[in-house]
Structure 1
Amino acid sequence: MPNPGDLIGGRYQILNELGSGGFGTTYLAKDMELPNKPKCVVKQLQPRFNSRALWQNAKERFGTEAMVLRRLGNHDQIPQLIAHFEENEEFYLVQEFIDGEELRKEVCRKPFHETQVIEFLRDVLQVLDFVHQQGVIHRDIKPSNLIRRQSDGKIVLIDFGAVKEIGTLSFNAETQTLMTSVIGTPGYMAPEQQNGRPFFSSDIYALGRTAIYALTGQSPMELEDTETGDLTNWDKHVSVSPKLAAILNKMIRPKYSERYHSVAEVLRDLEPLLKIGQTVGGRYKIVGFLGGGRWSYTYVAENLWRKYQSPCVIKQLKSQGTADAVIVREAERRFSTELTVLEKLGDHPQIPKLLDHFEEDEEFYLVQAFIDGKDLGHEILPGKRWSEDKVIALLQDVLEILDFIHKNRVIHRDIKPSNLIRRRSDDKIVLIDFGVVKEIVSATSEKSGFGSSTQPIGTEGYMPPEQMAGRPAFGSDIYALGMTAIQALTGIYPDQFDTNPQTGEIIWQEGVQIDPRLAKILNKMICIDLAARYQSAAEILKDLKKIGRNLRPKLIKTNTNNRISLSTRPPWVRSLIGMILIPGGIGGFLFFLVYVIQVTQTAFLFRQADLKLRSQDYLSAINYYEDGLQNPPPFSGALLNFEKAWIQKAFALSALKRYNDMLQSCEAAIALKKESVYGWICKGSALDGLERYQDSIQAYGKAISIDPSSFEAWHNRGHSYLKLGKKDDAIANFNQAIAVGQGKNFVTWNDMGKMYFQYKEYEKARESYQESIKVKPDYLPAWIGLGNVQTVLKEYEEAIKSFNEALEINDEAFEAWYGKGRAEEGLRRYEEAVRSYERAIFIKPNYQPAIDARQRVIGQMR
């Protein structure tokens, strides 16, 4: 081990030790052969193996990684590699010395505020983007590996994991193979990296956790959930905006598939936050991000000159391309013209007043009055239905605004829930985000000139055909408002409705009970044919008033203090009340007839729900089940299977991961039939989804006590035990499922294979997958699982055969193409491997494992 004063490599004199770890020791040194004897960093790597036969292999790897570091050092925020050499059978790296302070020490003095963290993220992400473009994964991003350079305040990224791996090499005498420890730091390592399979997004995960450390001043391990290890409540320890919290939460998602896959994705989401803390227009300090998208970013700001106008809303209009001088001048002309329009519209009390406007750094800005309230996107939610009265009130409110703007010859062009704000002070609807503003922006994207005001601005699902074709009319706003009202009535997004193949009109009334007059108005509002649609907001308001005058009384007084609402009673109750008032025996006959109709109607709703469930239209299925279950006719249990309907509804809720609602539905089924096997299995699945595994085991146990031959109960209980880490109990339940589930136990054999694979018991995994295939020879997951096991066991030719079997079953199985590529890579058939990876990427363009693998293999082919 070198001591202060020692000379390494004949020229680098050791000054002192900077640190040591499992991979080696780092020293501060000075280069004695250069003028001024500049400082440098010397890293001594100490591989741990005693096989001379493998020394050359390690030396070659060291040389390769040194060349990678030399290439990375071309970036200004990565230390340059000065030299690398071997001396006394130890490896040495000499790198540029960075005069600065570790992020860890900076945060220890004082945690970062949000603006600092945003700037920190941008700085490091730009470096990380360069690193990943070189095909390199850092693998050890953490506060102590990020140094703020004293000269310019920039963050420098140090200590790449690939070099550390050389230092952790060891030789397994029994298997005659080189081994390496997992590189990374607990608290910052992604789950897949802990399992020895880091991806580019593993660095994103570590950076996200580092940013949370910077915000909170607490180590991620202190904030982790004691059971799951996830950072689920970190934002309770610090004040942070929802947008930044959402970005950080996506960076640190444990599941690789749910995380950001590239640095570019993170930077894109981070972009609008970069203005927070800045002052624009010389007077507006941006304090928060409200939202935005393709056309503009919207911020809340303080007016530093006129405090009484604080808070206010700043809208930054985004250019859609690089504009030349002619285009910029045309955009400025349009901006001036449209400002006149916006100023006039601001006279309406339900349209935000325009306070100011300016151009800065070739970007346009609007300043408008701040509306204290929430947009209707928070009220119009999937699966939740508004009452007719509430929808009519919405229509009347917005139509009065539309009547005003249309009289001023303005088409809004983007009416949708998120552009309608319910003002907190008076519950009135305020209309925001006019399309005329978006058109100013879209003008700068035209390279060859300008279109007219016919560019297709709007939101898919809410735009009628003429607007999508670039010819918006006043009736286009009416269509969009109609679709918004229908969304509120049904709880279904506009683009999820089926359409009539002959007319193109959307089919939205199935299973919806609605006043025919309101339905007629809505259908005329959303008519595909512009000529057949309402031509003005005033016409609709007139028809809505007719409904208001002619509605039947909904209330029957029983006394001065109590009212009974007929409209809230089940249909059969209202029918019974009506029949009672009819004299003679005919009343009973009519009641029976109405009762039969009600039973038939409920049966129809259940059938429609089952069809929607089979077609995976889960929201529609849930709505149909709810309609059928809401007010069931009495004594109809013998005719209709309500237990099944509750369970089927629960299945649809499960597909949407709405496990709390699912649990209620399962319990409703059990309330109807306490010995319902599938009801208890349903409850177990819901509890499992809520991660209440011990409770789910008890529910499955109840199902088994009712029917010991229930394959589903044994199988599912095995999974719950597995999630608790009780492997032996899981195996016992899986074996029982296999015993009772003849003909369908291929699923359990396959899941046993996955379990053994995770526990690295590869021989048992292979046997389980083979048993699954014996039961069902065309079971795709088992062939893919078998191929993966064979690849790990380096049985590459056999693995390729298994993946080919999988592809015979389904040529679009991207996981099989990826697995085949891995096996081909193991055989060093690099060109074939690249083709397989590219096929996987073609099928699933965002499949990051295949993207990473393709890049890795291409690097090996160079």
Structure 2
Amino acid sequence: MVGLVNGRYQILKALNEGGFGKTFLAEDVQMPSRRFCVIKQLKPVLNNDRVQKIVLERFQREAAILERIGQGHPQIPDLFAYFEEEGQFNLVQEWIEGQTLTEIVTAQGSLNEAEVIKLLYQILNVLNYIHGHNIIHRDIKPDNIIVRNADQQPCLIDFGAVKEVMATQINAQGQPSRSIVIGTLGFMPREQAAGRPTFASDLYSLGLTAIYLLTGKFPDQFETDSATGRLQWKQDCEHLSTPFRSLLDQLVKPHPKHRFATVAAMRTALQSVAQASTVLSHPSAEDEVAPASSEPASTESGLSTARQPTSKIQKPKWQWIGLGVGGAAIASASLFFLFRPQWHYFWGQQAAQSGNWQSATENFEQALELKADYTEAALKLGETYAEIGKYPEAIAQFDTLLKQQPKTAAAFRERGEIRFATGGYQAAISDYNEALTLDPKDAETYNHRGDAQVELGKYEAAIADYRKAIRLQPNQAQGYLNLGSVFFVQGKLEAAVKELDKAIQAESNHLSAHVNRGSYRSVLGDPEGAEQDWEKALKLPVRTAKDYASRGYAKSRLDRKQDAIADYNQALTINPQLTRAHTNLGGVFYEQGEIEQARQSFDQALQINPNSTSAYLLRGELRAYQGQQADFEGALQDYDRAIAINPKDPFVLNNRCGALFSLNELQRALADCNKGLEINPSSAALYTVRGNIYLRLKQYEKAIQDYGRTIQINDTRKSEVRSQAAYSNRASARIQLKDLDGALQDLNDALRIKPDAAEDYYKRGLLYSVQNKRQDAITDLKKAADLYAKQGRTDDYNNVLSVLRSLGEG
């Protein structure tokens, strides 16, 4: 194909071609990330105006359904767009980078029972979701299930409903009909072939998909029983446990009433199969255990710059034991108890993946009670303790494991995460160093070490770690997200957004990536883009306490404060020791004027992590700006503590500069502003405060220059509303330099931005009086007096009245 499709999609290569159209891999040239996407070009079987109109209406309806279900579940591709072009109907969907089940079996051979059980569980999750929306997929088969590279989750693609729309025809009565059956021969059951699919039809197709995974054979490669019409597959599956063979047999029964009617029924049966199985042995020593999710506290601006869990769940390499004569598996009570530790480990993993932390903890504990040297269970138990805030128990678990097996890199990494969470940043780095000595290619540990470097102000070292993580895992979001967070701290907002674009291209449903990109877009003056990202975050699944904290931040930015509080409380229900949730909860209370509750939240955060610069920053701000009881000395103490931890935090330097200015310690304040601007030369806030210092020092030219920089930065970011104070104060500096016209223009701009600013009416009134514009002066001064009266500022009100009397008014 030549040129752009729909004016924005560059076709890269053809992926597939079927009876209803073609599928292409494309690049969206209108997105900053030039993200990859899949374009499905569909063509109706009949091409006439009436059919075209009917198809268009139905296509739009089905596209809306695809959009809704794609946004609601991470294992279904997002629908980015749909359109009609040259008689063809196009769907633009998220590109899932990975392998189909067919490709996996072709490359690696058939899978074993444990692998297939795990896949079935994962697929049942998404199937339960679509059935819950009254949708039947109608074309479940190995080619339509892609195991995503980023997290090894199976994703369901190519829903049959849109194809059915393309099959629309006109019957003899002139009514629209569909005479073409949707589905794939061999994988579809009889009732679907007759045009009457049910939920059980999808389960039939899933059963045959499982048989393919276990045997490497497609349905048409099995003999058929001439009497019953059933496929003769069991002879190829004699190595399976009897309960699992029975479950598969029920799945693929010819009549739907003999199958499982619902996903729930099948899931219950599958759980019973797993618990009764006797052929699963210990995972091999080289298996990679899924790491615990980890995400440090928010930055001083409240942004959730920390990590979303890096998904590294690998396909378990289970070993199998052949039991009995002729390869038949012999069930026995002794073998069941022999393999109970592995099943507790398996169920612990399933519980953790679904966010059932209590069940996960219990299963991992039971696995270790039954097998004390079970390394993988020991690691997962420590990670689970960390997830629910049992930090001492987690540390003890990893300490014990490292005494037994001192070369366990994952134990060093996860112990480092707990030390990080409790403020031991240097100790965490020591653990990460040990982990990287043992496993120098672990991208997750580089990401973690980078986070600790950031907390200590070692930004260049952090950037080096994040870049190393990206080189090791370019298809995972975490490294890009972390790199973007450092760029944000350094004021490189455009670069930060670009890194988040890459993160979302790598993992389109990464919750923290959308939350952070929304924050950066907001600062850059793109409120619509910010809102889109935050709204997207609200549609993504949450599992961990950190997920709830991230989503809570998105809700707070969307001004859904009570919903945000609910998410933060849910995060703290899961993990009462999550510093970030306490800090951000305090931030919401502070915004709502609930000062005492905010203070308690910040205090709680600092009890857990006495080195949380975010909590010190916000508690200091609370002390400095709590109205009539402003406590600049107390604020200064909090800022000093934060700077002792991270001497290069530009947000804390900005606030300490402001506190010192309020205490009239101008030279110390100036030093902080200068240092902050060395780190972040694009900080409008720092230029404003430094301009105020120069104004008080009567260095008016420098003040004007800094206020100008503030205004320029805010204009670039489409945030003129933040320039009101800079315009007002620059006017004061210009008045001192007798530049009255320039001062008048600045005051006009300040009042255009904030038309209820009494001080600016007062200053402009005085300026008019100097210019002998008596009536204009009186008008502005009266306006200032009214505003001061409404604000209860009696002294300022009386001062304005005095000036008015001098002008012959009042």
TM-score after normalising by structure 1: 0.34
Higher helix share: 2
Higher relative contact order (CA 8 A, sep 6+): 2
Higher strand share: 1
